[in-house]
Amino acid sequence: MALISCIIPVYNGSAYIAAAIDSVLNQSMPVDELIVVDDGSEDSSPQILQQYSGKLRYIRKDHSGIIQTLNEGLRAANGDFITFLDADDLWHIDKTKLQFNSLSDHSEVDICFCHIQEFVSPELPEHVKSQLSFREEPLRGVGKTSAMFRKRCFDTIGFFSPDVQMGDFLEWYGRAMDEGIRSDMLDEVLTYRRVHLHNFTRKQRPLIQNYTHILKKSLDRKRMNS
Protein backbone atom coordinates (compact mmCIF):
# COMPACT_ATOMS: atom_id res chain seq x y z
CA MET A 1 0.00 0.00 0.00
CA ALA A 2 1.38 3.39 -1.00
CA LEU A 3 1.45 6.13 1.61
CA ILE A 4 0.99 9.25 -0.58
CA SER A 5 -0.48 9.27 -4.09
CA CYS A 6 -0.41 12.24 -6.45
CA ILE A 7 -2.83 12.47 -9.37
CA ILE A 8 -2.09 14.76 -12.33
CA PRO A 9 -4.83 15.05 -14.98
CA VAL A 10 -3.57 16.24 -18.36
CA TYR A 11 -5.15 17.16 -21.66
CA ASN A 12 -2.93 18.74 -24.32
CA GLY A 13 -0.57 19.91 -21.60
CA SER A 14 2.75 19.58 -23.40
CA ALA A 15 3.84 23.14 -22.61
CA TYR A 16 4.00 22.66 -18.84
CA ILE A 17 3.47 19.00 -17.90
CA ALA A 18 7.20 18.26 -17.47
CA ALA A 19 7.63 21.11 -14.99
CA ALA A 20 4.59 19.93 -13.03
CA ILE A 21 5.90 16.36 -12.86
CA ASP A 22 9.38 17.51 -11.85
CA SER A 23 7.93 19.55 -8.99
CA VAL A 24 6.33 16.34 -7.65
CA LEU A 25 9.38 14.13 -8.19
CA ASN A 26 11.63 16.65 -6.46
CA GLN A 27 9.65 16.77 -3.21
CA SER A 28 11.68 16.67 0.00
CA MET A 29 9.26 13.94 1.08
CA PRO A 30 8.68 11.97 -2.13
CA VAL A 31 5.25 10.70 -3.05
CA ASP A 32 4.99 6.93 -3.21
CA GLU A 33 2.79 6.91 -6.29
CA LEU A 34 2.54 9.44 -9.12
CA ILE A 35 -0.38 8.83 -11.47
CA VAL A 36 -0.78 10.86 -14.67
CA VAL A 37 -4.14 10.42 -16.35
CA ASP A 38 -4.08 11.54 -19.98
CA ASP A 39 -7.54 12.55 -21.19
CA GLY A 40 -6.82 11.70 -24.83
CA SER A 41 -4.22 14.41 -25.51
CA GLU A 42 -3.63 15.20 -29.18
CA ASP A 43 -0.39 17.12 -28.68
CA SER A 44 3.03 15.81 -27.65
CA SER A 45 2.04 15.12 -24.02
CA PRO A 46 2.22 11.30 -24.47
CA GLN A 47 5.76 11.54 -25.88
CA ILE A 48 6.86 13.76 -23.00
CA LEU A 49 5.36 11.37 -20.49
CA GLN A 50 7.22 8.44 -22.03
CA GLN A 51 10.44 10.11 -20.87
CA TYR A 52 9.29 9.50 -17.27
CA SER A 53 8.86 5.76 -17.73
CA GLY A 54 9.47 4.00 -14.43
CA LYS A 55 8.89 7.19 -12.41
CA LEU A 56 5.12 7.41 -12.76
CA ARG A 57 2.04 5.42 -13.65
CA TYR A 58 0.61 6.55 -16.99
CA ILE A 59 -3.07 6.03 -17.76
CA ARG A 60 -4.43 7.09 -21.15
CA LYS A 61 -8.16 7.25 -21.82
CA ASP A 62 -10.52 8.57 -24.46
CA HIS A 63 -11.27 12.26 -24.10
CA SER A 64 -14.21 12.70 -21.72
CA GLY A 65 -13.44 15.77 -19.59
CA ILE A 66 -11.79 16.70 -16.33
CA ILE A 67 -14.29 15.06 -13.96
CA GLN A 68 -13.96 11.61 -15.48
CA THR A 69 -10.19 12.08 -15.63
CA LEU A 70 -9.94 12.95 -11.94
CA ASN A 71 -12.18 10.04 -10.97
CA GLU A 72 -10.09 7.65 -13.08
CA GLY A 73 -7.08 8.76 -11.07
CA LEU A 74 -8.93 8.22 -7.81
CA ARG A 75 -9.92 4.71 -8.84
CA ALA A 76 -6.27 3.92 -9.58
CA ALA A 77 -4.80 5.50 -6.43
CA ASN A 78 -3.52 3.21 -3.68
CA GLY A 79 -2.30 5.79 -1.18
CA ASP A 80 -3.65 6.47 2.29
CA PHE A 81 -3.23 10.15 1.42
CA ILE A 82 -4.30 11.70 -1.89
CA THR A 83 -2.97 14.83 -3.59
CA PHE A 84 -3.66 16.50 -6.93
CA LEU A 85 -1.72 18.81 -9.21
CA ASP A 86 -2.89 20.51 -12.39
CA ALA A 87 -0.66 19.90 -15.39
CA ASP A 88 0.29 23.58 -15.62
CA ASP A 89 0.89 24.28 -11.93
CA LEU A 90 3.75 23.63 -9.50
CA TRP A 91 4.38 22.50 -5.94
CA HIS A 92 6.77 23.93 -3.39
CA ILE A 93 9.50 21.40 -2.62
CA ASP A 94 8.16 20.86 0.95
CA LYS A 95 4.45 20.53 0.16
CA THR A 96 4.02 16.84 0.84
CA LYS A 97 6.25 16.91 3.92
CA LEU A 98 4.51 19.81 5.65
CA GLN A 99 0.99 18.61 4.88
CA PHE A 100 1.72 15.01 5.82
CA ASN A 101 3.29 16.14 9.10
CA SER A 102 0.27 18.32 9.86
CA LEU A 103 -2.21 15.50 9.22
CA SER A 104 -0.07 13.08 11.22
CA ASP A 105 -0.13 15.50 14.16
CA HIS A 106 -3.91 16.05 13.93
CA SER A 107 -5.72 12.76 13.51
CA GLU A 108 -9.11 14.49 13.67
CA VAL A 109 -8.37 16.50 10.49
CA ASP A 110 -9.08 14.90 7.11
CA ILE A 111 -7.98 17.62 4.66
CA CYS A 112 -4.94 19.87 4.93
CA PHE A 113 -4.96 22.94 2.68
CA CYS A 114 -2.16 25.45 2.03
CA HIS A 115 -1.88 28.91 0.53
CA ILE A 116 -1.51 29.42 -3.23
CA GLN A 117 0.63 31.95 -5.08
CA GLU A 118 -0.40 32.88 -8.61
CA PHE A 119 2.30 33.74 -11.14
CA VAL A 120 2.34 34.70 -14.80
CA SER A 121 4.15 32.08 -16.83
CA PRO A 122 7.62 33.59 -17.33
CA GLU A 123 8.21 32.48 -20.92
CA LEU A 124 5.29 34.53 -22.27
CA PRO A 125 6.07 37.69 -24.28
CA GLU A 126 5.41 40.98 -22.58
CA HIS A 127 2.39 41.85 -24.76
CA VAL A 128 0.74 38.59 -23.65
CA LYS A 129 1.61 39.11 -19.99
CA SER A 130 -0.07 42.50 -20.13
CA GLN A 131 -3.38 40.78 -20.98
CA LEU A 132 -3.31 38.60 -17.89
CA SER A 133 -4.34 39.54 -14.39
CA PHE A 134 -3.32 37.73 -11.23
CA ARG A 135 -3.27 38.29 -7.50
CA GLU A 136 0.10 39.20 -6.09
CA GLU A 137 -0.84 38.31 -2.51
CA PRO A 138 -1.08 34.63 -1.49
CA LEU A 139 -4.56 33.10 -1.59
CA ARG A 140 -6.18 30.71 0.86
CA GLY A 141 -6.07 27.59 -1.24
CA VAL A 142 -9.38 25.81 -0.77
CA GLY A 143 -9.01 23.56 -3.79
CA LYS A 144 -7.66 20.24 -5.05
CA THR A 145 -4.11 21.27 -5.91
CA SER A 146 -3.54 22.96 -2.55
CA ALA A 147 -4.79 20.02 -0.48
CA MET A 148 -3.73 16.71 0.94
CA PHE A 149 -6.67 14.38 1.65
CA ARG A 150 -6.99 11.28 3.71
CA LYS A 151 -8.26 8.66 1.30
CA ARG A 152 -11.11 7.91 3.66
CA CYS A 153 -12.61 11.26 2.60
CA PHE A 154 -13.36 9.85 -0.84
CA ASP A 155 -14.49 6.55 0.66
CA THR A 156 -17.04 8.52 2.72
CA ILE A 157 -18.06 11.33 0.34
CA GLY A 158 -17.56 9.60 -2.99
CA PHE A 159 -15.84 10.91 -6.11
CA PHE A 160 -16.34 14.16 -8.01
CA SER A 161 -19.80 14.56 -9.47
CA PRO A 162 -20.06 14.10 -13.26
CA ASP A 163 -23.03 16.48 -13.18
CA VAL A 164 -20.73 19.44 -12.41
CA GLN A 165 -18.47 20.47 -15.29
CA MET A 166 -16.93 23.47 -13.52
CA GLY A 167 -16.45 23.97 -9.82
CA ASP A 168 -16.12 20.22 -9.29
CA PHE A 169 -14.18 20.63 -6.07
CA LEU A 170 -16.56 23.21 -4.63
CA GLU A 171 -19.48 20.80 -5.09
CA TRP A 172 -17.49 17.93 -3.54
CA TYR A 173 -16.33 20.08 -0.64
CA GLY A 174 -19.92 21.13 0.04
CA ARG A 175 -20.84 17.45 0.43
CA ALA A 176 -17.79 16.94 2.64
CA MET A 177 -18.81 19.79 4.94
CA ASP A 178 -22.34 18.37 5.12
CA GLU A 179 -20.78 15.13 6.41
CA GLY A 180 -18.68 16.94 9.01
CA ILE A 181 -15.32 16.42 7.31
CA ARG A 182 -12.74 18.59 9.10
CA SER A 183 -10.03 20.59 7.36
CA ASP A 184 -7.08 22.78 8.29
CA MET A 185 -5.16 25.52 6.48
CA LEU A 186 -1.38 25.90 6.62
CA ASP A 187 0.07 29.41 6.53
CA GLU A 188 2.75 28.48 4.00
CA VAL A 189 2.51 28.97 0.23
CA LEU A 190 3.01 25.44 -1.10
CA THR A 191 1.21 25.54 -4.47
CA TYR A 192 1.95 27.85 -7.39
CA ARG A 193 -0.82 28.50 -9.91
CA ARG A 194 0.44 29.35 -13.35
CA VAL A 195 -1.50 32.07 -15.18
CA HIS A 196 -1.46 31.97 -18.98
CA LEU A 197 -3.85 32.66 -21.85
CA HIS A 198 -5.30 29.19 -22.03
CA ASN A 199 -6.27 28.85 -18.39
CA PHE A 200 -7.58 32.34 -17.64
CA THR A 201 -11.13 31.73 -18.82
CA ARG A 202 -11.17 28.07 -17.83
CA LYS A 203 -10.16 28.61 -14.24
CA GLN A 204 -11.82 31.90 -13.43
CA ARG A 205 -14.93 33.01 -15.29
CA PRO A 206 -16.80 29.69 -15.67
CA LEU A 207 -16.14 28.80 -12.06
CA ILE A 208 -17.70 32.04 -10.85
CA GLN A 209 -20.74 31.51 -13.10
CA ASN A 210 -21.26 28.06 -11.62
CA TYR A 211 -21.18 29.11 -7.95
CA THR A 212 -24.94 29.69 -7.76
CA HIS A 213 -25.83 26.21 -9.02
CA ILE A 214 -23.36 24.47 -6.71
CA LEU A 215 -24.33 26.43 -3.60
CA LYS A 216 -28.02 25.82 -4.30
CA LYS A 217 -27.42 22.06 -4.33
CA SER A 218 -25.64 22.32 -0.98
CA LEU A 219 -28.51 24.33 0.54
CA ASP A 220 -31.04 21.83 -0.84
CA ARG A 221 -29.17 18.98 0.85
CA LYS A 222 -29.16 20.82 4.16
CA ARG A 223 -32.91 21.48 3.93
CA MET A 224 -33.56 17.79 3.24
CA ASN A 225 -31.51 16.79 6.26
CA SER A 226 -33.01 19.37 8.63
Residue percentage of the chain with pLDDT more than 70: 87
Confidence band of 208 (pLDDT split at 50, 70, 90): very low
CB 191 within 8 A of CB 91: yes
Gap between the Cα atoms of 91 and 190, Å rounded:
6
Pick the more confident residue, 121 or 10.
Answer: 10
Confidence band of 207 (pLDDT split at 50, 70, 90): very low
Q: What is the pLDDT of residue 132?
A: 83
CB 30 within 8 A of CB 94: no
Query: E strands along the chain, which residues?
Result: 4-10, 33-38, 57-60, 81-84, 90-91, 111-120, 139-141, 147-150, 183-195
Residue percentage of the chain with pLDDT more than 90: 75
Mean pLDDT of the chain: 89
Pick the more confident residue, 132 or 214.
Answer: 132
Is the pLDDT reported for residue 204 higher than 70? no
Is the pLDDT reported for residue 164 higher than 90? no
Is the pLDDT reported for residue 221 higher than 60? no
CA 223 and chain centroid, separation: 30
